Amino acid sequence: ERPRTRPEILEALVPRVGPAAASAATVYPTLQLLEDLDHVRVAESEGKRVYHITPAGEAFLQAGREAKENVFEWLHGAGEALAELGQAVARLASVTYRQAYRSEQALKRVVEVLKRAADEIEQQR
């Protein structure tokens, strides 16, 4: 939107992502990463670090926007299937934890089954 200092960035993020996600503990390391990736550059102004987006950062944002649009388009068409997937995953989690807490042997069996299932799903490319 415009160059900002770290506190200004935090302030702008809170209404968008909430105070937990817009904390100094998450935002400041992310700003450092963006600087390392050349997505932002930092300039000193009146003794403060001001973050400016770079052309590489703009390109990264544009790619993200396009990916987001594609995901939402896909989600719109896959809504029912995704709901079914969500229900299946929730059931799996419930059954898994119930069984795994029965005994150490049950836990080992559950882990083996989950590993095989993950391998099988992964091979369906």
> How do residues 84-103 score in pLDDT, each as one tens digit?
888 888 889 888 888 888 89
DSSP 60-99: HHHHHHHHHHHHHHHHHHTHHHHHHHHHHHHHHHHHHHHH
Greatest Cα pair distance, the chain, in angstroms, is: 64
Domain 4-75, CATH number (from 1.10.10.10, 1.20.1560.10, 3.90.190.20, 3.10.310.70): 1.10.10.10
For the residues 48-69, what does the mean pLDDT come to?
A: 90
Domains of the chain by residue range? 4-75, 79-122
Mean pLDDT of the chain: 88
Assigned token pair, 1: 């939107």
Tell whether pTM > 0.75: no
